[in-house]
Structure 1
Amino acid sequence: MEKFKLIDGSFSVKETKEIITNLLEFKIQYHGKQNFSNEIRRGEQDDRSLTRMENLRVTKDEFLTYLESLSEADTLSIFAEIQIKK
């Protein structure tokens, strides 16, 4: 398994919101494009992409709710790793 460090650092609540929200939005848009492409090519929706989009939206909502419970003065440590299996 290969591992790649994606995020490793300390951030303000505002920075954390921007970083993670942007990542989640990018993934939501990616799956939206996958679904659109599948509809054009095959004439049917991509259920996998639609499910993933919904899961990512729920994650985003949960994440934003969590951030609301924090003080703007807080500093957060974020660690994210990508793992790739062949």
Structure 2
Amino acid sequence: MTCAQLEQTAEQLALFAHRRGLVLREVFVEHLATDPAAFDALVKVVNRRDIPVIVVPTHAHLSAVGGGETKASRLKRETGAYALTAGGSTP
């Protein structure tokens, strides 16, 4: 993903959130070489700020983290938050 594509995606996520009465505060970008470092950071922020919902571009962004668990299930288990995909469905 280029810097321009990342910026465009962040803008789309912010618009999606805004239309649902949410505020996009931060974008976490996962890099293949360090996966799941960005997700781990996200979980910490969600817990620290008691955030009830996150927004992701696609359901694939909440894929498996190992041991058969998905990032979506880990997010729910560790934070109580749920995820909305920009496509509008809840994983």
**So what's the TM-score if we normalise by structure 1?**
0.28
Q: Which one has a larger percent strand, Structure 1 or Structure 2?
A: 1
Please report the TM-score for the alignment, with normalisation by the length of structure 2: 0.27
The structure with the largest helix share of the pair is: 1
Q: Which has the higher contact order (CA 8 A, sep 6+)?
A: 1
